[in-house]
Amino acid sequence: MESLETLSQLLCGSTLMLWVLIATFSRTDRSENQAQWAMFGLALLTMASLILLDLQGGSLWGSTYMPKPLAVLCLAFAFMARLNIKGRNISQGMNPHQIMKQNRESEDNSVSDSCE
């Protein structure tokens, strides 16, 4: 039981540390992608260890109530890990800034046409 508690704590700490350092890893697309996948895997492993710890009646930092909500948080971390930090345009649609710029340009053109 103690080894599972220690494993859960180590995995939680590793996931959190990778989350904190993700900006450092996002300097290149390749390292960002690798860090995101690593965080995704770590978060899922942490979630599994916390669920197993809870099922066996173990505690985390002296609390038997902590493993369940932390497991849910780890699931959220896994999904958030795959979010795109740099904001690459995946949808290939117009973003709000492009729409506002286009509206401004059309308004400027209509004002200049009416002045002539």
* pLDDT value at residue 108: 74
Average pLDDT rounded to a whole number, residues 91-97: 60
- Which comes out higher in pLDDT, residue 35 or 23? 35
Please report whether residue 80 resides in a domain.
yes
Please report whether residue 92 resides in a domain.
no
Please report whether residue 20 resides in a domain.
yes
Average pLDDT rounded to a whole number, residues 48-58: 88
Please report whether residue 56 resides in a domain.
yes
Please report whether residue 32 resides in a domain.
yes
Token reading at 109: 């053109």
User: Taking phi first (over 0 means left), then psi (-120 to 50 degrees means alpha), and beta for anything else, what does residue 14 get?
Assistant: alpha
Token reading at 53: 């710890």
In this model, does residue 114 exceed pLDDT 80? no
Please report whether residue 73 resides in a domain.
yes
Cα dihedral 68/74/80/82 (nearest 10)? -140
Please report whether residue 53 resides in a domain.
yes
Indicate the pLDDT class of residue 45, thresholds 50, 70 and 90.
very high
Average pLDDT rounded to a whole number, residues 30-54: 88
- Name the residue range of residue 20's domain: 2-85
Please report whether residue 16 resides in a domain.
yes
Domain count, the chain: 1
* pLDDT value at residue 90: 47
68 neighbors 54 (Cβ within 8 angstroms) = yes
Indicate the pLDDT class of residue 48, thresholds 50, 70 and 90.
very high
